[in-house]
């Protein structure tokens, strides 16, 4: 069964309160009267409380950050002042050597009540401003300076101007009403932080408010002892000092939890969360790898099916097309064919033309599908030589046409020469095709650098196109002109885009209807062309 810290704190407070009540009712009022060993005990108890006070201040002051409680910072400065005043009290009680001025009960009580008042004020401030921000660095040092200033003022008054202070002890009569009333007032005031910390502890079940609730409650019991003791050496005073040390230890534990242990707990939690996140990342990576492996297997299977389809297209579909073309040619060559009507001859010619067009379409589709599988063999390519080779391959298409052709300097590119040659062939062939209706075709081939990147182009004075439909240019089977007017399969520009994309570049066009067109493309790994 998990322990409840708040319940344990309540049991401890109840036990200490029961001890107080039992001692008050059952034990003689002065069992240790005149006991010479009280002074060493007093020295030990006060020294211990001073050490704990300094530790409280040291931990909280050095653990200060913008996330810390402003109330706890005030409490730590109050404990510093209380510890310094307890030092003056320890040196000023009866039978101690003179501390600046002669030691006396009145002098010791003055230091004592000052320390208790400041410590009570610190607990009250911590309860009221528990969630407040500690403020700026200037406020922090202002708070420290105020605590030390109040401490110095008390020392100055007690040591050099005791006459301005009220009497707290009268020889032969004991404690004065002012001393007893002050202790009872402190007891009443301590009830407020005890209640506030208890409410917070019940709500949050956090160790720090539980510890401060216990500290405020035990301080209350301690002050009650000092309000009712009848002799400087009786049991009430002994137990009051013990309770005070216990209360200080609870305060130290509370600030230690926030100032020292809490950062390590947060670090441990963050490390655990990070480890959990890393495990989650590893799990997701494993799932991703499994998905990638599964998808790769699917793609490999799809590629095999595509290869099988390509084989079927290249063999099974070509055979009937080849037969249609051959039989049509045979029929057109026979003597009997010359006796056929003109319409029948035209139909036979159309059959042959369509068969050859279908063959070209199959070739282009096969070339397009294989581009994604074909490995790139990049090397430095002299594009000037490559363009002239492409022009030689297209000589049969340009024969008999008046062409004004100019080729600028293109430079070198890092590319696959076979694929890049296809780009130039497709773009130049496109320019030749769409300038066929002009009296004189004007074709410009060149490159220009923009933002440090060479842009290659093929420009013509052909029929052009409407830029509203430019997004359809590079799709398979997308045509902006009628097939009856311009032959082609509608795959050429799609092949250009795929090749350029595989080289890390892009392709685009600019045109106007009946005013020609210019096709541009870029490549990765290009060098000088000037």
Q: What is the pLDDT of residues 106-159, one digit of tens each?
A: 899 999 999 999 999 999 998 988 777 766 778 888 999 999 999 999 999 999
Can you tell me the distance from the alpha carbon of 472 to that of 462, in angstroms, rounded to the nearest whole number?
18
The helix/strand/coil state of 414 is: strand
Classify 477 in phi/psi space as left (phi over 0), alpha (psi -120 to 50) or beta: left
pLDDT: which is higher, 65 or 233? 65
Sign for the pseudo-dihedral over CA of 57, 61, 63, 68: positive
Can you tell me the distance from the alpha carbon of 116 to that of 139, in angstroms, rounded to the nearest whole number?
24
Q: Is 251 exposed, middle or buried (0-12, 13-18, 19+ CB in 10 A)?
A: buried
pLDDT: which is higher, 372 or 453? 453
Can you tell me the distance from the alpha carbon of 84 to that of 82, in angstroms, rounded to the nearest whole number?
6
Nearest-5° Cα angle at 455, 453 to 460: 170
pLDDT tens-digit profile of 455-464?
Answer: 999 999 888 8
The helix/strand/coil state of 180 is: helix
Helix 235-256 to helix 207-228 angle (10° resolution) is 160
Is it the case that residue 233 has pLDDT exceeding 90?
A: no
pLDDT mean over 237-255: 88
The domain segmentation of the chain, as residue ranges, is: 376-521
The helix/strand/coil state of 22 is: helix
Tell which residue, 84, 153, 141, has the closest CA to residue 112.
84
Tell which residue, 393, 454, 401, 399, has the closest CA to residue 428.
393
Q: Which helix (H) or strand (E) holds 226?
A: helix 207-228
Check residue 283 and give its pLDDT.
86
Helix 207-228 to helix 5-26 angle (10° resolution) is 10
Q: In terms of pTM, does the model score above 0.85?
A: no
State the CATH class of domain 376-521: alpha beta
Alpha helices in 27-136 (DSSP H): 38-62, 70-92, 105-128
């Amino acid at each position: 069964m998990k322990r409840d810290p708040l319940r344990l704190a309540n049991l401890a407070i109840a036990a200490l309160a029961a001890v107080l009540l039992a001692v008050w009712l059952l034990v003689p009022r002065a069992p240790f009267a005149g006991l010479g060993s009280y002074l060493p005990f007093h020295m030990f108890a006060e020294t211990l409380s001073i050490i704990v006070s300094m530790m409280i201040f040291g931990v909280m002051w050095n653990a200060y950050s913008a996330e810390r409680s402003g109330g706890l910072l005030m409490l730590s400065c109050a404990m510093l002042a209380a510890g310094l005043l307890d030092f003056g009290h320890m040196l000023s009680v009866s039978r101690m050597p003179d501390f600046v001025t002669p030691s006396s009960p009145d002098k010791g009580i003055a230091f004592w009540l000052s320390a208790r008042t400041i410590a009570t004020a610190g607990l009250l401030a911590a309860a009221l401003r528990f969630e407040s921000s500690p403020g700026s660095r200037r406020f922090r040092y202002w708070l420290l300076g105020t605590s030390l200033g109040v401490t110095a003022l008390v020392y100055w008054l007690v040591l050099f101007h005791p006459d301005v202070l009220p009497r707290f002890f009268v020889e032969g009569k004991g404690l004065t009403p002012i001393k007893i009333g002050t202790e009872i007032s402190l007891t009443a005031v301590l009830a407020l932080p005890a209640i506030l910390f208890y409410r917070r502890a019940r709500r949050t079940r956090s160790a720090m408010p539980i510890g401060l609730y216990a500290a405020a409650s035990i301080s209350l019991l301690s002050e009650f002892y000092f309000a009712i003791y009848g002799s400087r050496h009786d049991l009430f005073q002994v137990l009051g000092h013990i309770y005070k040390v216990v209360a200080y230890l609870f305060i130290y534990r509370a600030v230690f939890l926030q100032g020292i242990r809490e950062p390590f707990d947060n670090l441990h939690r963050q490390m655990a969360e990070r480890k959990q996140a890393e495990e989650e990342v590893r799990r997701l990576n494993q799932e991703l790898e499994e998905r990638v492996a599964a998808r790769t297997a699917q793609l490999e299977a799809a590629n095999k099916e595509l290869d099988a389809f390509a084989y079927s297209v290249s063999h099974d579909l070509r055979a009937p097309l080849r037969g249609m073309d051959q039989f049509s040619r045979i029929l057109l060559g026979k003597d009997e064919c010359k006796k056929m009507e003109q319409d029948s001859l035209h139909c036979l010619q159309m059959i042959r033309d369509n068969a050859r067009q279908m063959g070209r379409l199959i070739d282009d589709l096969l070339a397009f599908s294989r581009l994604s599988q074909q490995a790139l063999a990049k090397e430095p390519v002299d594009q000037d030589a490559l363009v002239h080779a492409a022009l030689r391959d297209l000589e049969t298409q340009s024969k008999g046409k008046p062409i004004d052709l100019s080729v600028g300097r293109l430079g070198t590119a890092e590319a696959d020469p076979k694929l890049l040659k296809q780009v130039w062939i497709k773009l130049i062939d496109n320019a030749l095709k769409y300038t066929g209706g002009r009296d004189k075709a004007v074709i410009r081939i060149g490159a220009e650098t923009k933002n440090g990147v060479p842009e290659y182009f093929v420009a013509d004075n052909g029929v052009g196109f409407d830029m509203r439909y430019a997004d359809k240019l590079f799709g398979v089977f997308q045509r902006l002109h009628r097939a009856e007017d311009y032959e082609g399969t509608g795959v050429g520009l799609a092949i250009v885009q795929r090749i350029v994309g595989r080289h890390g570049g892009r392709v685009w066009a600019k045109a106007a209807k009946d005013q020609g067109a210019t096709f541009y493309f870029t490549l990765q790994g290009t060098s000088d062309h000037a």
